[in-house]
């Protein structure tokens, strides 16, 4: 639904150049909620503003719903009209709401409908329907100053939906809200995604947002996407920065003759007593140094840092056992991290057979 290819944005001021986007390739599938996360200055906001061409890219392409928007930019009156039509199918939700204080809530939502040329009766009907959709049917005649932050953002979302967009862009839409209000807005975005079949691309610096609502995510650093994929894929990727940030665990080995292992649970394995099975099967004492469990996209997932007695070479079989259960296992520290996951079961089985001789 949204694809960027080689997207670059360079800002020039007083003889200086700042590269905000450096060859960004992004692919957001139809109907998913996709989060782009990164620290301030990573290029997130430049990316989302280039997606709807509020900012013109320096180079590269932006395709939304099969239409190359960059091909329409600056190509004469006809192309300009096509670009405006394409933009009308992309809704935008802003961090600071951007509501007009002189207009009522209903009139704020009607504003894009006025631009589209709808009649007063049709604008009113549609605005009231949208207010009902976001849970503010009783606020039509009040002014933004009379609303809470969460209510203002719901109005912003209703206004973004006025043009019946296929895509909804959210630029830090929850960063100015308290945690409870943030959760309610994220739940609303997920409900709209499901009810209306919206594709949602959201920008955030909060891991909780990705954990709560996103199907897929990308990590941005210095204008580049350094990691991307579905949340489940990221959790199963060895050394994933996003997985580690979503479920941070810590703890150091208690001695040189110990092996510290990070275990990622997802899918059916998250509810199985795998650690206790490992302890009973190999008659070893296991220390849990840290753990983080939560629900992501409706599924329980998490990470656990455990300590096994003995050096890495002595724990190849127990580590192989964990991988046989469908778990992602990463050895912490300087140990040879890794028997490749696909080879671990065979290696473990071979060592068990060797030990039985």
Mean of the per-residue pLDDT values for the chain? 85
Banded model confidence at residue 297, pLDDT cuts 50, 70, 90: low
Same domain, 258 and 228: no
Q: What is the pLDDT of residues 157-215, one digit of tens each?
A: 999 999 899 999 999 888 888 989 999 999 999 999 999 999 999 999 888 888 888 99
Query: Which among 207, 235, 263 is the end of a domain?
Result: 235
240 occurs within a structural domain: no
Structure tokens at 55: 């900012």
Same domain, 107 and 79: yes
Same domain, 22 and 54: yes
What's the total number of domains in the chain? 2
The CATH number that applies at residue 6 is 3.40.50.300
Report the C-alpha gap between 239 and 248 in whole angstroms.
12
Q: What is the pLDDT of residues 331-342, one digit of tens each?
A: 886 544 444 444
pTM (whole model) above 0.85? no
Residue-number span of the structural domain to which 39 is assigned: 2-235
Q: What is the pLDDT of residues 46-80, one digit of tens each?
A: 999 999 888 899 999 999 988 888 888 665 566 56
């Amino acid at each position: 639904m949204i694809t960027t290819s080689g997207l670059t944005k360079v800002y020039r001021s007083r003889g200086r150049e700042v590269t905000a986007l450096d060859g960004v390739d992004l692919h957001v599938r139809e109907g998913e909620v996709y989060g782009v996360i990164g620290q301030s200055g990573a290029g997130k906001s430049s990316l989302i503003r280039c997606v709807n061409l509020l900012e013109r890219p320096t180079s590269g392409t932006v395709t939304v719903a099969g239409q190359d928007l960059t091909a329409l930019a600056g190509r004469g009156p006809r192309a300009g009209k096509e670009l405006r039509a394409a933009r009308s199918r992309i809704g935008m939700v802003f961090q600071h709401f951007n509501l007009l204080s002189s207009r009522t809530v209903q009139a704020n939502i009607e504003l894009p409908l006025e631009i589209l040329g709808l009649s007063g009766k049709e604008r009113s009907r549609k605005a009231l329907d949208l207010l009902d959709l976001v849970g503010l049917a009783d606020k039509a005649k009040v002014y933004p100053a009379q609303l809470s932050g969460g209510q203002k953002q719901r109005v912003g979302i209703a206004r973004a939906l006025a043009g019946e967009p296929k895509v909804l862009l959210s630029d830090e839409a929850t960063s100015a809200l308290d945690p409870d209000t943030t959760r309610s807005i994220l739940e609303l975005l997920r409900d709209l995604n499901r009810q209306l079949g919206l594709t949602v691309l959201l920008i955030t610096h909060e891991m909780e947002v990705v954990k709560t609502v996103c199907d897929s995510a990308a990590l941005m650093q210095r204008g580049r996407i350094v990691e991307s994929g579905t949340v489940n894929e990221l959790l199963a990727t060895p050394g994933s920065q996003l997985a580690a940030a979503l479920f941070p665990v810590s703890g150091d080995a208690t001695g040189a003759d110990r092996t510290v292992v990070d275990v990622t649970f997802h899918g059916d394995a998250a509810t199985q007593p795998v650690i206790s099975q490992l302890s009973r099967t190999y008659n070893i004492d296991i220390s849990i140094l840290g753990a983080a469990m939560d629900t992501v996209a409706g599924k329980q997932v998490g990470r656990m840092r455990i300590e096994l007695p003995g050096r890495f070479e002595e724990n190849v079989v127990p580590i192989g056992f964990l991988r046989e259960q469908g778990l992602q296992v990463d050895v912490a520290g300087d140990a040879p991290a890794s028997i490749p996951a696909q080879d671990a079961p065979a290696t473990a089985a071979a060592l068990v057979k060797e030990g039985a001789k």
